[in-house]
Amino acid sequence: MLPIPKKYFVTAASAEGLSELNAFDNALLKAGIGNVNLLRVSSILPPGAEYDPKLELKPGMLLPTAYGYIISEVPGETIAAAVGVGISKDSFGVIMEFSGKCSADEARSCIEKMIKEAFEVRKMELVDMKIEAVEHVVKKIGCCLAAVPMV
């Protein structure tokens, strides 16, 4: 069993590549999580996890990460990805991811609504949100990625 994460950060980036996989990899690199092994997780931030935007990652480490991404091969198309963490006062947090053919502002707005609904449904008090969003106009093959890595 993996240990419960104690720290996290929020990141978003976009990139182009010669293939879909390269565009995704290049976005991971720009987001600061390209040299680790992502373990895709669902959307719960453990209780007491501390926000640390300068978290150091070791190459090859296993990194639990909630993320969303979009890849497009349509030149001129605008794509976006966003991720957000809703923070409660005395309990766990909720992570929401979004990606689509829209602007970063639209993606951010969707994340805000999703976090608020997640807290309402859980009957939890939302005290803070941390959101990152990115948009990209595709040149050839583009990717937008937004993620919440946890260690």
- In the residue annotation, 73 being an active-site residue is answered as no
Residue of 19, 35, 37, 91 marked active site: 37
Residue of 14, 26, 43, 99 marked active site: 43
- In the residue annotation, 97 being an active-site residue is answered as yes
**pLDDT tens-digit map of 36-73:** 999 999 999 999 999 999 999 999 999 999 999 999 99
- In the residue annotation, 35 being an active-site residue is answered as no
1-5, 10-14, 36-40: range with lowest mean pLDDT: 1-5
Asked if 79 and 27 count as a contact pair (C-beta separation under 8 A), the reply is no
What whole-number distance in Å separates Cα of residue 56 and Cα of residue 131? 20
Question: Which ranges constitute the DSSP H helices of 40-142?
Answer: 104-122
Please indicate, yes or no, if residue 78 is contained in any of the structural domains. Answer: yes
Please indicate, yes or no, if residue 61 is contained in any of the structural domains. Answer: yes
> In sequence order, which residues have a C-beta less than 8 Å from that of residue 112 and are 6 or more positions away?
84, 129, 131
Domain containing 90: what range? Answer: 7-149
Please indicate, yes or no, if residue 1 is contained in any of the structural domains. Answer: no
Please indicate, yes or no, if residue 30 is contained in any of the structural domains. Answer: yes
- In the residue annotation, 109 being an active-site residue is answered as no
Q: What is the pLDDT of residue 90?
A: 84
Please indicate, yes or no, if residue 2 is contained in any of the structural domains. Answer: no
Which residue is associated with the tokens 């001129």? Answer: 76
Q: What is the pLDDT of residue 106?
A: 98
Q: What is the pLDDT of residue 2?
A: 78
**Which CATH number does the domain housing residue 128 bear?**
3.50.20.10
Please indicate, yes or no, if residue 39 is contained in any of the structural domains. Answer: yes
In the chain, the number of structural domains is 1
pTM, 2 dp: 0.96
Please indicate, yes or no, if residue 31 is contained in any of the structural domains. Answer: yes
Please indicate, yes or no, if residue 20 is contained in any of the structural domains. Answer: yes
Residue of 97, 99, 132, 135 marked active site: 97
